[in-house]
Structure 1
Amino acid sequence: MMEISALYADLSDCGVLVTGGGSGIGAALVEGFARQGARVAFIDYADGPSQELAARLSVTSPHPVLYLNADLRDVAATKNAVDTAAEQLGSLSVLVNNAGWDDRHDFDTVTEEYWDKSQAINLKQVFFASQAAVPHMRRAGGGTIVNFSSIAYLLNMGEMPAYTTAKAAIIGLTKSLAGRLGPENIRVNAILPGMIVTERQKELWLTEDGMSAMVARQCLKRLLLTEDLVGPCLFLASKASSAMTAQTIVIDGGAL
């Protein structure tokens, strides 16, 4: 069970929506907000693990956790899911744009179709989920958007050009949205995770040698887990960071 390192009173009963919340980092974030007493919804497309997560957390959380199935590449479906979340939760004050697709693909074999798919999953949906959420935040008197980028684009990783392009662009989008929405009391910040060890990562990409090499590069000599991102995200979502916007937090164990 996840430990609660800090309690943020303003997150209790707060309407929170997490994209890609059914597994991995997203599931840890959903649980983190639920344990704060927030009213939480999350969007995903994988019914099995998402339904299990919502059912498990709803047993112990002060409020039922709402799972919404949607393909975030579809702008209309994204808007409908955001609107449904706001309606079911009663309001929406926090949006966490966590969903992403860190596929590896060689530069020489990237096609237009693959490029567009990667940008749709990793960048386009961040903008349109935010656009759909902001009207609800305005009605709530303000809000917070937390975007998930990655340190991957800072490491010159050559095997994922579409993904790293999108993750770099999220920083530009974060700063642009912060400038546009700040006068309306809506803050926008970003988190850049390092190598976070999840079951999916271990199945698809991570090797023992690769993990050892990253730990050796880090100042902190341990593997980073999904729970390591919960505290920073809660901080950015809460009033503890009320004067903070257009900023990025790197959570990489000191790899950079």
Structure 2
Amino acid sequence: MTNNKNKTVFPSLAGRHALVSGGASGIGEALVRALAQQGCLVSFFDIDQAAGDSLAKELNDQGLKAHFHMVDLTEIDTLQKVITERIADWGAIRILVNNAANDHRHTLQDMTSDAFDKCMSVNLKHHFFAAQAVAPAMAEAGGGSIINMSSNSWMLGLAGYPGYVTAKAGISGLTKGLARELGGQKIRVNTVLPGWVMTEKQKRLWLTPEAEEELMTQQALKEKIKPEDVADLVLFLGADDSRMISGQSLVVDGGRL
């Protein structure tokens, strides 16, 4: 069925505890909003305290359930500690969306060993350890869904950020491994690979008339992708409607690939 905004309602999401990393802005903000509007109890993490507090207040003022905690996701011990606290407060996390990332531009020659390690920490490592932290309670509660946010950049072989592309390719491999590892516990693991999504950051830093014209020649669908377009797929993957989908990589890029 659909709501008044012609968006699909997923009854199985209501009342479930969802966790979104990098949820204070961009695609993450759209994910937090969409899950809360479906009736989820949404915990979300971000390094941006002001934006996270503002979003949580707005949603709670609307009668929805959202809890923000400032977390530096590169600090794995802290990440897992806060996840444990959120489980103690709202119960098992049944939907984990590993979203946080940073597509900082760099070249092969610019990259140092320390910078590479930081790139992996920001874009890949926390996916693994968030899954590790939520899986036991998720399994005990009867299963759930882990959704790893990647990017079509590695499938396109884009230049300009080779470390980022490496991490995003690794996410798809992680998904395959975890799907096998956790499937017996009724935990589904999938990857969502967005194309060029027009967040405020992307529009501010990278979108030019020339870049938009080139993008429209490459996409089969001649419209810019919005964060909400990605959120729609994540809702489906979080809900029981996708109960037999696992280990898959699903692309939202307007037919660019």
TM-score (normalised: structure 1): 0.96
Shift of 1:4: 5.6
Q: Is the 8 A contact 1:40 1:89 kept in 2?
A: no
What are the residue-to-residue correspondences of 1:176-255 with 2, within 5 Å? Answer: 176-255=177-256
Would the alpha carbon gap of residues 188 and 4 (structure 1) be closer, same or farther in structure 2, given more than 3 Å must change? farther
Q: Any stretches of 5+ residues in structure 2 without a counterpart?
A: none
**1:29-72 deviations in Å (ceiling 9; x for gaps):** 0000000011111011101111110000112244x310011111
Which residue of 1 is the match for residue 88 of structure 2?
A: 87
Number of positions where the alignment pairs a residue of Structure 1 with one of Structure 2: 254
Which residue of 1 is the match for residue 50 of structure 2?
A: 48
Shift of 1:204: 2.1
Report which stretch shifted further, 204-213 or 11-20: 204-213
Q: Any stretches of 5+ residues in structure 1 without a counterpart?
A: none
Shift of 1:87: 1.9
| Structure 1 residue identity aligned to 2:172 | I
Shift of 1:3: 4.2
Q: Is the 8 A contact 1:34 1:61 kept in 2?
A: no
Structure 1 CA distance, aligned partners of 2:90 and 2:109?
46
Report which stretch shifted further, 65-74 or 86-95: 86-95
Secondary structure of 2:193's counterpart equals strand
Which residue of 2 is the match for residue 156 of structure 1?
A: 157
Structure 2 CA distance, aligned partners of 1:231 and 1:254?
16
Q: Is the 8 A contact 2:92 2:134 kept in 1?
A: no
Report which stretch shifted further, 138-147 or 28-37: 138-147
Which residue of 2 is the match for residue 6 of structure 1?
A: 8
Secondary structure of 2:183's counterpart equals helix
Q: Is the 8 A contact 1:137 1:143 kept in 2?
A: yes
- Aligned CA RMSD, in angstroms, stands at 1.2
Q: Is the 8 A contact 1:15 1:39 kept in 2?
A: yes
TM-score (normalised: structure 2): 0.96
Matching of residue 113 in structure 1 with residue 114 in structure 2: yes
Q: Is the 8 A contact 1:95 1:146 kept in 2?
A: yes
Matching of residue 174 in structure 1 with residue 175 in structure 2: yes
Matching of residue 104 in structure 1 with residue 88 in structure 2: no
